[in-house]
């Protein structure tokens, strides 16, 4: 009889059930999507923050001082130590290599172009490297997305170069011209605009700079862009003082410090240092955006909960006469409440499941359209979301059911409740 009452109620009052179910579906959908977005936003924004450029720099251990003034490198080329280009692919074998967005070696060399002393900067543009059997690409195009080229990017294995835009303007050169570097002619593939020191430099494939310098395999510095976890007190501890499991935990967290430590391990005789301007500010911006989305998620959950409970309360109010009839026929308040709660439970589970699926889809669409990547909804969320939906549906109906049950059936049937 109980099951039949519930079944018939769904069969005969399709419009009402659909309305209440739609409210639950919508509420749960919005809640699911917001939870997914808020939990994933940290990851997504971390990736986006990489557009600020490299956050780590690797230098030779025994290096002499840099002599850079206003972007002009005054350091004599014979001075200081170098890293070995052959060690670079080892970065791909690091524990956190998946967090490394890219890296670019640089080798500044002083050259003479058109009677003017300028810096020739050797680097990777988008170089194909091999680590074991794995192939990957890396270079400035990955880690410095704001570098713009008017013309084409040179191939890393070619002799072509880029001219910084201010240098190109002062030499009156454009893409397609030829310039002479250390007695050899090089084609200018394009004009580079970075808004930084490179605008006054010649930027060339690393091999070109090495042959001009006469030091094959030499790299002055290595810039690394890595997705990191915001620094905390534990991150700042000196790895030498950490023991056993503590060290493992430090080593296996993607802090900028532990990635620097691993870079030093991967590249012999090197010193890795965080670029504090980029690394330190990341955490603040990230924390603000994450905090904001968390609070907005709470607001969304509240709005969704209120929408669902309001819809349920309205649906219940409409059914006073039904309650009156049941009571008049001798049903106890417990059995009346049980029927309505069973209906609410069924609605919550059905609407909640549909809402969860819809919300997951919505989160995907948001991830695709805003971040060009997936926002996955964790399946673990499903029982939690359904439980919350049931709870909210119950609390929304509870007040209305209580009042309906209390009213004398006579008044209820006369429509005076």
What whole-number distance in Å separates Cα of residue 150 and Cα of residue 173? 12
The gap from C-alpha 248 to its chain's centroid, in whole angstroms, comes to: 25
Instruction: Indicate the residue among 119 and 194 with the shorter CB distance to another protein.
Output: 194
* Min CB(159)–another protein separation in Å: 28
Please choose, out of 121-129, 177-185, 362-370, 376-384, the segment that lies near another protein by the rule CB under 8 A: 362-370
13 counts as binding another protein under rule CB under 8 A: no
327 counts as binding another protein under rule CB under 8 A: no
Please choose, out of 138-146, 206-214, 237-245, 349-357, the segment that lies near another protein by the rule CB under 8 A: 138-146
Q: Which of 101, 366, 391, 407 binds another protein (CB under 8 A)?
A: 366
Instruction: Indicate the residue among 2 and 317 with the shorter CB distance to another protein.
Output: 317
Q: Which sign does the torsion angle of CA 133, 136, 138, 143 carry? A: negative
361 counts as binding another protein under rule CB under 8 A: no
As given in the structure block, the two tokens for residue 158 are 């070619």
Q: 80-83 — which CB contacts under 8 Å span 24+ positions?
A: 80/220, 81/269, 82/107, 82/215, 82/218, 82/219, 82/220, 83/58, 83/59, 83/218, 83/219, 83/220, 83/221, 83/222, 83/267, 83/269, 83/270
Instruction: Indicate the residue among 147 and 160 with the shorter CB distance to another protein.
Output: 147
Instruction: Indicate the residue among 77 and 89 with the shorter CB distance to another protein.
Output: 77
* Min CB(100)–another protein separation in Å: 17
Instruction: Indicate the residue among 252 and 310 with the shorter CB distance to another protein.
Output: 310
Instruction: Indicate the residue among 74 and 384 with the shorter CB distance to another protein.
Output: 74
Closest CA to 121 of 270, 226, 221, 214: 221
For residues 29-68, which are near another protein according to CB under 8 A?
30, 33-34, 37, 41, 44-45, 48-49, 51-53, 56-57, 63-68
Instruction: Indicate the residue among 213 and 315 with the shorter CB distance to another protein.
Output: 315
5 counts as binding another protein under rule CB under 8 A: no
* Min CB(244)–another protein separation in Å: 29
Contact (CB, 8 A) for 381 and 35: yes
Please choose, out of 102-110, 128-136, 151-159, 364-372, the segment that lies near another protein by the rule CB under 8 A: 364-372
Give, as one character, the DSSP assignment of residue 371.
I
* Min CB(283)–another protein separation in Å: 10
* Dihedrals phi, psi of 110, to nearest 5 degrees: -80, 125
Instruction: Indicate the residue among 51 and 130 with the shorter CB distance to another protein.
Output: 51
Please choose, out of 86-94, 107-115, 226-234, 287-295, the segment that lies near another protein by the rule CB under 8 A: 287-295
Instruction: Indicate the residue among 52 and 82 with the shorter CB distance to another protein.
Output: 52
Q: Which of 318, 328, 408, 410 binds another protein (CB under 8 A)?
A: 318
259 counts as binding another protein under rule CB under 8 A: no
What whole-number distance in Å separates Cα of residue 334 and Cα of residue 126? 72
In sequence order, what E strands does 34-183 have?
56-60, 68-69, 72-73, 83-84, 100-113, 116-123, 127-131, 134-138, 148-151, 161-164, 178-181
* Min CB(90)–another protein separation in Å: 21
303 counts as binding another protein under rule CB under 8 A: yes
Q: Under rule CB under 8 A, how many of the chain's residues touch another protein? A: 74
For residues 170-209, which are near another protein according to CB under 8 A?
193-196
What whole-number distance in Å separates Cα of residue 99 and Cα of residue 142? 13
Instruction: Indicate the residue among 252 and 299 with the shorter CB distance to another protein.
Output: 299
What whole-number distance in Å separates Cα of residue 100 and Cα of residue 107? 21
What whole-number distance in Å separates Cα of residue 195 and Cα of residue 66? 21
* Min CB(10)–another protein separation in Å: 19
Please name the residues in contact with 394: beta carbons below 8 A apart, sequence gap of 6 or more.
341, 344, 345, 348
Contact (CB, 8 A) for 385 and 31: yes
81 counts as binding another protein under rule CB under 8 A: no
3-state helix, strand, coil in the chain (%, to 5): 55, 20, 25
In sequence order, what E strands does 155-210 have?
161-164, 178-181, 184-193, 202-205
* Min CB(183)–another protein separation in Å: 27
For residues 83-122, which are near another protein according to CB under 8 A?
none
For residues 223-252, which are near another protein according to CB under 8 A?
none
Closest CA to 385 of 414, 361, 354: 354
3-state SS record for 209-230: HHHHHCCCCEECEEEEEECCEC
């Amino acid at each position: 009889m109980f099951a039949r009452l519930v079944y018939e109620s769904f069969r005969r009052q399709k419009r009402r059930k659909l309305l209440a179910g739609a409210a639950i579906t919508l509420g749960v959908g919005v809640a699911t999507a917001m939870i997914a977005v808020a939990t994933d936003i940290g990851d997504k924004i971390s990736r986006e923050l990489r557009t600020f450029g490299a956050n780590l720099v690797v230098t030779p251990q025994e290096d002499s001082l840099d002599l850079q003034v206003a972007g002009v490198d005054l350091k004599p080329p014979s001075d200081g130590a170098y890293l070995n280009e052959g060690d670079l692919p080892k970065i791909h074998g690091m524990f956190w290599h998946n967090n490394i967005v890219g890296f670019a070696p640089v080798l500044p060399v002083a050259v003479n172009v058109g009677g003017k002393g300028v810096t020739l900067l050797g680097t990777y543009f988008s170089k194909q490297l091999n680590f074991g059997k794995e192939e990957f690409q890396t270079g400035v195009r990955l880690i410095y997305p704001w570098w713009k080229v008017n013309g084409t990017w040179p191939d890393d294995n070619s002799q072509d170069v880029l001219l910084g835009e201010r240098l190109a303007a002062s030499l009156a050169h454009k893409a397609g011209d030829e310039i002479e570097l250390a007695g050899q002619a090089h084609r200018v593939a394009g004009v580079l605009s970075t808004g930084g020191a490179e605008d006054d430099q010649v930027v060339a494939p690393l091999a070109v700079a090495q042959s001009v310098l006469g030091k094959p395999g030499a790299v002055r510095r290595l810039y690394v862009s890595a997705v990191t976890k915001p620094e905390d007190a534990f991150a700042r501890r000196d790895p030498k003082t950490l023991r056993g499991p503590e060290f493992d935990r430090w080593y296996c967290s993607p802090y900028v410090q532990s990635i620097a430590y691993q870079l030093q391990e991967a590249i012999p005789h090197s010193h890795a240092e965080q670029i504090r301007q980029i690394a330190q500010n990341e955490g603040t911006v990230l924390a603000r955006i994450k905090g904001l989305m968390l609070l907005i998620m709470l607001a969304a959950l509240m709005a969704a909960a209120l929408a669902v409970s309001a819809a349920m309360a309205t649906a219940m109010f409409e059914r006073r006469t039904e309650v009156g009839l049941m009571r008049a026929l001798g049903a106890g308040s417990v059995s009346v409440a049980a029927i309505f709660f069973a209906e609410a439970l069924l609605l919550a589970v059905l609407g909640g499941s549909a809402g969860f699926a819809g919300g997951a889809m919505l989160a995907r669409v948001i991830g695709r359209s805003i971040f060009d990547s997936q926002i996955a909804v964790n399946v673990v969320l499903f029982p939690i979301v359904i439980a919350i939906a049931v709870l909210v549906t119950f609390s929304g109906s509870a007040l209305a059911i209580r009042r309906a049950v209390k009213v004398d059936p006579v008044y209820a049937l006369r429509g005076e409740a």
